[in-house]
Every structure is written in C-alpha cells, then in structure tokens.
Structure 1
Amino acid sequence: MERKVKYNYDFKLRCVKEVLKNHQTVDAVSKLYGCHHTTLHDWIRFYEKYGEKGLLPRKNKVYSLLFKLKVIKAIEKDLLSFSQACIKFNIPTKSVVMNWHRNYKKDGVIGLNHKPRGKPKSMQFKRAKKKSNKPLTREEELLLENESLRAELDLLKKLEALIQQEQNKKHKP
C-alpha cells in the first residue's frame, strides 16, 4: 500500500517557482495556495539542492541501521537541524529523523532497528478442533453438553436483562 500524497508534483513546482522566479514571499504563496509555510520552505530547499527531482513523491523507504546512525552522528557532530539533515541526506520529512533521534536517545543503537508495522505475518490463530472419526467418550459428551448449556444460559440471561432494561425505559417518563 502506497503512502497518500497530499500535494502533487505540479502543485509543489508551481509554488516553488512562484517564490523563486516571481519573487513572491513564502508567506504570501503559502496563503494563496493553502499550504503551510514551513512545508513550502522544505520544498524550496529540496528544489535548490536536487532540482525538480527533489519535489517528486517518494515511496516509503526502509533505511538501513548504518544510514540512520550516519544521520544521527551528522546531526550531533555538525550541529545540523532536523530539516538540514533531511536535505543533506534526501529524507522526505523531518519527522522521520526526529523519531530516529528520539529512539536513539532513549534506547541507543537498538532503538534504530527497523520495526515492521502492522499485523505480524506469523500470527497464531486459534483454529477449531478438527472432528475425529472416533466416537466421544461419555465424559467428553457430558463436557460438550455442559458447555452448550452454559452458553445457552448466558444467552438467556442477557436477553432477560435487555428486556428488563427496555421495560424500565418505558416506565420512566
């Protein structure tokens, strides 16, 4: 599943060119086109460093542990801001770098390991027991009947509680 792109390439290019070629202010262009001024600043920086390719939408990328560590070390050594690190290493959003930095401060290098998102593929599901051809023992039959009767009793209790609740609502004005 791909990431939803909020602003398309043509929109970004139009906004950047308004600022750079038509000498409009970032605030004026951001208000005119309805995008946030810091987002527009980021587009301009990417455009200045990577050209029109810097504005192309990117697929979600999994970064290696060494790359993440390189970015974190550059931030600390060169005193880069998160935005500057994004531009230097061509990372689409600073929130990615902020998360890496926070995880590194909290857990060290282990915090930078890739954590897969979503449901694990090897999730264990409880499967219904397969019926065997062997006849059930008397004890097994009684246990099954007992389980069935308990379920039926629970169902009847819930139904009775619902009926009682409806009657109480009708009697209250």
Structure 2
Amino acid sequence: MGRKVKYTYEFKLRCVKQVLNNHQTVEDVSKLQGCHHTTLHDWIRFYEKYGKKALLPRETKVYSIPFKIKVLEAIDKDSLSFSQACLEFNIPTKSVIMKWQRNYKKEGIIGLNHKPRGKPKSMQFKRAKKKSNKPLTREEQLLLENESLRAELDLLKKLQALIQQEQNKKQKP
C-alpha cells in the first residue's frame, strides 16, 4: 500500500500552467485552487527544472548515506537553502533534508542510517509446537506427564516459600 497523495498530477499541472501560461500570480492561483503558495512555488520550480514528470507522485525512496552527506555538505559549502537543495538534488520536500541535518548534528553519521517506520516485518518469538493428529506413544505420554508434574511441584514449592515468608514476617514484630 502506497502513501496517500494529497494533490493529483492533473491538479498540480493545472495550477502550474495557470501561473506560467495565464500569467496569474502564485498567490491568486493558490487561493483559487486551495493549496499553499509555497507548495505551488515548489511545484513550479520542479516543473521548470525537470518537466512534467516532476509533478508525478513519487514512491518513498531510501537515500544512501553518501548521498545524504553530499546534500548536507552542499548546503554548508554552497550556502544553499533547503528549497534550493531540494531542487538541486531532486528531493521532494524540505522536511526530508531538515530531518537529515537534525539527525546528523545529534548522532553523526549513524543518525543518517535509514530507520524503517512501523511494526517490524518479523516478530522474534517462539511459536508453540503444532499438535499432530497422531496418538502419542507411551514414552511421549510419560514425558508430558513428567513435565506436568515437575511444573506442579515447582508451583507448590513457590507457594510454600511464600507462606513461610509471610509467617516469618508475622513472628518478627
């Protein structure tokens, strides 16, 4: 299941073309269409640099650590804004780079490792043995009975220890 897309490709293209072809202001189009003006600015920049394909919905991408470092170094060295870095390296949103920068300052290179979201793919736990339809052999029956008796004995020993502990507490004061 992919992520939810807020704006369709057709909607983005229509908004961008209203600004570029109809010579309307970004603010007017954003108010008319109901999207934020900075978002529309980003769409226009991406459209001008990468064409129509830049407005297509993107799959979530896992960026490599060297790529992340390259982006962060370019921001520092060339004094790029987050928006300029997004445009330069074709990254969909500024928040992605801001998160990399925050994690890099906090944890160093280790902070740039990909951290999967959500529940782990496989749970690490022991599964109960499946019961078979075959009747148990005499030896297997005795082993199960022996295990059951040992568990019962352990329980009785723990109960006896608790009772003794309670009696000792009553006698001391």
Relative to the length of structure 2, the TM-score reads 0.76
Among 137, 142, 157, the alignment partner of 2:152 is: 142
Any idea what the Cα deviations from partners look like across 1:63-122, whole Å, max 9, x if unmatched? 111111100000111111111110000011111111111111111111111112222234
Q: What corresponds to 1:89 in structure 2?
A: 89
How far has the Cα of 1:144 moved from its partner?
Answer: 10
SS in 1 for 2:141: coil
SS in 1 for 2:51: helix
CA distance in 2, matches of 1:120, 1:3: 18
* CA RMSD of superposed structures (Å): 2.3
How far has the Cα of 1:141 moved from its partner?
Answer: 6.5
CA distance in 1, matches of 2:59, 2:44: 20
Q: What corresponds to 1:68 in structure 2?
A: 68
Q: What corresponds to 1:4 in structure 2?
A: 4
Sequence identity (%): 73
Q: What corresponds to 1:152 in structure 2?
A: none
Q: Which amino acid aligns with 2:8?
A: N
Q: Quick check: which has more Rg, 1 or 2? A: 2
**Matches of residues 1-173 of structure 1 in structure 2 within 5 Å?**
1-128=1-128, 133-135=140-142, 136-137=145-146, 139-140=149-150, 142=152
How far has the Cα of 1:50 moved from its partner?
Answer: 0.9
SS in 2 for 1:96: helix
Q: Specify every segment of 5 or more residues in structure 2 that has no aligned partner in the other structure, as ranges.
A: 157-173
CA distance in 1, matches of 2:24, 2:75: 32
SS in 1 for 2:104: helix
SS in 2 for 1:23: coil
CA 1:129–1:144: 2 relative to 1, 3 Å: farther
SS in 2 for 1:97: helix
Q: Specify every segment of 5 or more residues in structure 1 that has no aligned partner in the other structure, as ranges.
A: 147-173
Any idea what the Cα deviations from partners look like across 1:14-40, whole Å, max 9, x if unmatched? 001111111111111111111111110
How far has the Cα of 1:123 moved from its partner?
Answer: 2.1
How far has the Cα of 1:3 moved from its partner?
Answer: 1.6
CA distance in 2, matches of 1:83, 1:32: 24
